[in-house]
């Protein structure tokens, strides 16, 4: 039994560390340790039930061990202020007044398109309409829009440059060429698309552009008509 206790402990700690390293994308809406427990309990309960040659006590002791660890983690989570951050992680502010925080996105194994998708699920379509956006430690997403955000998203923005690469299909949708957008970038003091973290344009020609490590810019292209 002591053997099973220690083996379960080792697997718990290993799975927990791996889940923490995987970042928020893997977690969904549970705390990392809750997910570990959910994964372990299902397996631990199944194996002795299905395999007659394994004493049922092995499964019972394993599950008791997981329960014990859960109770200990809960106490640490509630009583030790530092433990909460270590065990559950801290919220990541991925969009602030300066624009997208690329470092925070990478820390959580996310990219700009993931952020834009999360914003869309919350009902926000324009990156410049958002004051702050963050991923909570359990993986949920929340965003604080600017006061007049509804006027800022009158048309759906599409990605023209995503982390240094042009999106050919979206360029076609704008009925413009790569050279046209490169020119627009140069006018804004950016020599190449490779320096860009993101560039989006909406149907009115409003551009959201952010160079890697710099504050975002919003400018308008002179489009005669609304494209979409």
| Shortest Å, Cβ 77 to other proteins | 11
| Shortest Å, Cβ 3 to other proteins | 6
Short-list 177, 169, 170, CA closest to 202: 170
Question: Cβ distance 170 to 158 under 8 Å?
Answer: yes
Local structure of residue 188 (DSSP, 8 states): T
CB-based burial, 74-111: b 16+ in 10 Å, e otherwise: eeeeeeeeeebeebbbeebebbeeebbbbebbeebebb
Helical H segments across 51-177, by residue range: 56-79, 81-88, 102-107, 112-121, 149-152, 168-173
Nearer to other proteins, 65 or 108 (CB): 65
Nearer to other proteins, 47 or 144 (CB): 47
| Shortest Å, Cβ 165 to other proteins | 45
| Shortest Å, Cβ 94 to other proteins | 34
Nearer to other proteins, 53 or 121 (CB): 53
Helical H segments across 51-80, by residue range: 56-79
Nearer to other proteins, 47 or 93 (CB): 47
Nearer to other proteins, 9 or 221 (CB): 9
Cα separation, 128 vs 204, whole angstroms: 14
Q: Which residues lie across from 220 on neighbouring strands? A: 206
- Which positions lie near other proteins, rule CB under 8 A? 1-3, 5-7, 10, 52-55, 57, 61, 64-65, 67-68, 71-72, 74-75, 78
| Shortest Å, Cβ 146 to other proteins | 43
């Amino acid at each position: 039994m002591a053997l099973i206790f220690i083996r379960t402990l080792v697997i718990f700690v290993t799975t927990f560390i791996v889940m923490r390293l995987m970042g928020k994308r893997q977690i969904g809406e549970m705390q990392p340790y809750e997910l570990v427990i959910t994964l372990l309990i299902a397996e631990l309960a199944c194996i002795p039930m299905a395999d007659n040659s394994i004493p049922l006590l092995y499964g019972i002791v394993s599950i008791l061990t997981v329960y014990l660890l859960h109770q200990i983690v809960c106490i640490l989570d509630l009583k030790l202020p530092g433990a909460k951050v270590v065990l559950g992680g801290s919220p990541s502010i991925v969009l602030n007044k300066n624009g997208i925080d690329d470092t925070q996105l990478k820390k959580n194994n996310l990219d700009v398109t993931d952020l834009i998708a999360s914003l869309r699920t919350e009902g926000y379509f324009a990156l410049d309409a958002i004051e702050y956006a963050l991923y909570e430690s359990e993986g949920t997403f929340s965003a604080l829009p600017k006061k007049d955000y509804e006027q800022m998203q009158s048309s759906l923005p599409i990605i023209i440059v995503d982390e240094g690469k042009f999106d050919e299909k979206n360029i076609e949708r704008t009925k413009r060429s790569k050279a046209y957008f490169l020119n627009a970038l140069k006018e804004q003091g950016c020599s190449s698309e490779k320096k860009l973290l993101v560039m989006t344009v909406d149907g009115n020609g409003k551009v959201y552009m952010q160079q890697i490590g710099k504050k975002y810019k919003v400018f308008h292209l002179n489009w005669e008509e609304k494209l979409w």
